[in-house]
């Protein structure tokens, strides 16, 4: 037994036909969930009573929302409890432009993370399990229901490495793009990845979405010391695959670079990064380090970050320093999960 969102629209249609129902019943269920944001089968009043009872008996209830935290910049962090007790966090972010208020949601694909980046609290919290397609999608619908706003963009940038939960992540993306649900364009979905070997398969077979590649250093050896996962693609191979992907499918590829004081933020590092990226139409997001208790790392100074950015820009590489959101509620990049486990007296699984 799982969540009804573990099924695609096509899967749901086949399931309902197996119960002797007409195919259009899948459209009705999807409309209740994705358009009317109704999660209770009993409230789906245009479905036959017996079908409502069957669905209630067959499928799990949605994850339980146990805490909402709101920061001064209006970033909202949600803490969910899955059916087996696992705790998962996701984040809703507001971006105000001259035209509209964009609402992005940052969703998790795993409980914890197996990549074990040494500068990331999520990785330090250990890895417990993959989330199902339905558990990923439930975070989005749950945030919409609780906030009362509609999602503009979905960022697979929460807890976990999306490509190490390949099938469920890809399934969730495909549902988001279906017209019966959100009908999101691939340009409204961003997948963040450290570039495990599965990246090559995703770029060949996966949905055509935007990609954020977590680089953090132009040097493979230094990268291996910062990111402990053994099956990462060599940097140059990953960038070559991403360059081909961007050229063929016209989807934005950004390079994420976390600046760590005295580790990867020198002028030599900046020049090495220029050498690596020159001529490649990637956008570089320079990220300030978000501190966590007991970390051996510290943030580069704002002045040094600006100098690093200018080195890239003078070489013709587009770059910006990303302003962190939700710092005081532990909702910024690399801050999810570890403090929450400590608060709930849950042992870290390393």
Burial class (CB in 10 A: 0-12, 13-18, 19+), 150: exposed
Q: What is the DSSP string of 165-219?
A: GHHHHHHHHHHHHSTTTT---GGGEEEEE--BTHHHHHHHHS---EEEEE---S-
Residue 309 host element (H or E): helix 302-314
On the CB side of 326, CA atoms within 13 Å amount to: 25
- Catalytic, 333? Answer yes
Catalytic residue among 89, 144, 168, 210: 89
Q: Which two tokens stand for residue 127?
A: 């890895």
Distance, in Å, from the CA atom of 26 to the CA atom of 15, rounded to the nearest integer, reads 9
Locate 187 and state its tokens. Answer: 């340009």
Place of tokens 């793009």: 177
> Which residue is catalytic, options 106, 113, 120, 333?
333
205 included as an active-site residue = no
Question: Which residues are annotated as catalytic?
Answer: 89, 333
């Amino acid at each position: 037994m799982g969540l009804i969102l573990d099924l695609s629209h096509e899967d749901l249609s086949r399931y309902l036909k197996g119960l002797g129902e007409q195919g259009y019943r899948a459209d009705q269920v999807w409309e209740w969930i994705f358009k009317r944001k109704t999660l209770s089968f009993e409230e789906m009043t245009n479905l036959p009573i017996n079908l409502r009872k069957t669905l209630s008996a067959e499928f799990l209830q949605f994850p339980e929302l146990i805490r909402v935290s709101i920061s001064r910049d209006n970033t909202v962090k949600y803490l969910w409890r899955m059916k087996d007790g696992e705790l998962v966090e996701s984040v809703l972010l507001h971006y105000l432009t001259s035209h509209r208020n964009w609402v992005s949601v940052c969703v998790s694909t795993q409980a914890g993370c197996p990549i074990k980046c040494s500068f990331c609290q999520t990785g330090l919290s250990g890895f417990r399990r993959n989330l199902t397609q339905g558990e990923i999608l439930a975070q989005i619908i749950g945030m919409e229901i609780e906030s009362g706003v509609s999602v503009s963009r979905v960022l697979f940038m929460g807890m976990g490495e999306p490509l190490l939960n390949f099938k469920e992540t890809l399934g969730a993306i495909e549902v988001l793009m279906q017209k019966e649900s959100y009908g999101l364009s691939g340009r409204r979905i961003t997948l963040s990845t450290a570039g495990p070997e599965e990246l090559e398969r995703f770029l060949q077979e996966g949905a055509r979405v935007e990609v954020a590649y977590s680089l953090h250093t132009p040097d493979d050896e230094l990268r291996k010391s910062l990111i402990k996962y053994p099956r990462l693609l060599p940097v140059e191979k990953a960038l070559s695959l991403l360059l081909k992907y961007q050229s063929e499918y016209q989807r934005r590829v950004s390079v994420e670079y976390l600046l760590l004081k005295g580790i990867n933020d020198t002028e030599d590092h900046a020049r090495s990064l220029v050498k690596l990226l020159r001529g490649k139409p990637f956008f570089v997001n320079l990220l300030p380090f978000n501190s966590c208790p007991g970390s051996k790392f510290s943030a580069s100074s704002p002045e040094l970050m600006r100098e690093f950015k200018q080195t890239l820009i003078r070489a013709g590489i587009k770059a910006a320093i990303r302003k962190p959101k939700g710092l005081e509620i532990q909702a910024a990049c690399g801050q999810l999960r570890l403090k929450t486990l400590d608060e709930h007296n849950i042992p870290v699984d390393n």
